[in-house]
Amino acid sequence: MAMYRVHRRLSAGKGKILYPGTLSRLEWLDETGLARLTIKGSISRVHAPPLVVLSGWRNARAGKIREVMGINDAEQLLEAQDAEIAEKMGVQPATVARWKGEVLDALMAKPTIGG
Amino acid sequence: MATTSTAVNACNASLWLDDVSGTPRDISGSSNSIDVSLDHNLGEVLSFGSKWPKRLECGKDATVTIEVIYSETASEGWDVLKDWYFATAPGARTLTFYIPDKNVGSDKFETQARLESLSWTADRGEAGPIMVSATLRPDGELTHSDVAT
């Protein structure tokens, strides 16, 4: 499932707001809804960079995760199950969560005021 | 330049207002107009020799005027507004409206609003319904978001 960057404040129901700069899969929306928000410029697909170009990933970790799991870019990493990564990479699930947090931080734009 | 293909009208706009118990009521079926004025407080800067003013900006404000049909059913527009005005402590209530409809991608405007005025004319010569005009003012920020649910 694709990852989207939020450009304008989105009302996601029950008081939940997605602020500009955040990333979301918006998995509850159908193609029509995603297309409408995209046309409005409210969201856009994240074109995830290869892991190897991200700060902190220019090392053997990016090469190993590609070799072991076939994961090349940030989106693939975020989509993968934590437990599966932990098992195949031989690390703790908490480590996987930290990796994902680093990648999310790297992809996320600074929030803007308003929007 | 290509003509826009995404122009919208107000046929399916959706208007919601909290009732006295804080329950959002869909009053779209008993209203037919939302007039919105978004204001920006500007101040002029003019000096000797300048023809065109520079402007400083400060606060924002808004006025929302809605037209509701004078009807007799509980929780319709007039009922909610009437209860609001005559409440001992009217207070601020949540006003939400969606343009052009309530579907994904629509504009959602929301604020805590106070009722500034309520007016209507009962005219014996008018066969159409009595229309009630209510002017609401934000008590705090008027927010905008896109519907994503």
Query: Is residue A112 a part of any domain in this protein?
Result: no
Alpha carbon distance B77, B83 (integer Å): 10
pTM for the whole thing? 0.83
Q: Give the integer Cα–Cα distance in Å for A66 and A48.
A: 15
Is the distance from CB of A78 to CB of A100 less than 8 angstroms?
Answer: yes
- Domain containing A103 equals 51-107
pLDDT of res. A105: 84
Is residue B148 scored above 50 in pLDDT?
yes
Tell me which DSSP letter residue A92 carries: -
> ipTM of the assembly?
0.82
A32 near B CB under 8 A: yes
Structural contact between residues A79 and A71, judged by C-beta atoms closer than 8 angstroms: no
Cβ of B148 and A32 within 8 Å? no
The whole-number pLDDT of residue A58 equals 67
The predicted pLDDT at position B129 comes to 97
A59 in the same domain as A32: no
Each residue's pLDDT tens digit in chain A (115 positions)? Answer: 688 999 999 999 988 999 999 999 999 999 999 999 999 999 999 888 889 888 777 678 888 899 999 998 888 898 899 999 999 999 999 999 999 988 888 887 555 555 4
Measured between alpha carbons, how far is B139 from A1 in angstroms, rounded to an integer?
A: 41
Co-location of A32 and A56 in the same domain: no
Closest residue in A to B142 (Cα–Cα)? A114
Cα nearest neighbour of B108 on chain A: A11
- What chain B holds in terms of domains, given with CATH numbers, is 14-41+55-146 (2.30.110)
Residue B70 banded pLDDT, cuts 50, 70, 90: very high
B119: phi then psi, degrees, rounded to nearest 5: -145, 150
A98 with A60, same domain? yes
